[in-house]
Amino acid sequence: MSIGNLKDSGNQGNNFPFQRAVLNGLGGGPRSAKLSREIGPGIIGEKVYSFSVSNTGATDGVLLGSTLKAGETVNFDGNGNNYFPLGAISFDATGTEFLIIYVAAV
């Protein structure tokens, strides 16, 4: 199926609205890229499809209950339509700085 697929004559049989709704459903809906710098504890309170955290500070921090050493970067991918639920991503950048980039539902 190609979006906006038409039958033989003009707009007769155009099912663009239906096709677009189906494709949005398959794609998990609209998404937005976000970026933040964090210097304390926190939680990403959104439905997140993928995220990357880099410890840009000079000391260790904590991500998902594990140590994220200074200079380390980790990436997590929800693999397409899978996502991390609200509040599933916790961190503590006390004494350091985390650069967090993620893709969330709009």
For residue 84, tell me if it sits in a domain. yes
Looking up residue 61, the CATH number of its domain turns out to be 2.60.120.770
Residue 90 lies in a domain: yes
Q: Is the pLDDT of residue 28 over 70?
A: no
Model confidence, pTM:
0.73
More confident residue, 101 or 81: 101
Q: Residue 88 domain-assigned?
A: yes
**What is the rounded average pLDDT for all residues in the chain?**
85
Measure the CA–CA gap between 38 and 102, rounded to whole angstroms.
13
What is the mean pLDDT of the segment spanning 72-96?
Answer: 93
When divided into structural domains, the chain yields a total of 1
Tell me how far apart the alpha carbons of residues 69 and 59 are, in angstroms, rounded to a whole number: 7
Residue at 91 is within a domain? yes
pLDDT digits (tens, 9 = 90+) for 54-76: 999 999 999 999 999 999 999 99
Domain membership flag for residue 40 = yes
**Least confidently predicted of 18-32, 62-76, 87-101:** 18-32
Q: Is residue 65 part of a domain?
A: yes
Domain carrying residue 41: 29-105
Is residue 15's pLDDT more than 90?
A: no
d(CA 16, CA 10): 13
Closest CA to 45 of 87, 84, 76: 87
Give the type of residue at 102: Y
Residue 6 included in any domain: no
Secondary structure E strands in the chain: 31-38, 41-44, 48-55, 61-63, 66-68, 73-77, 89-92, 98-105
Confidence (pLDDT) at 72: 98
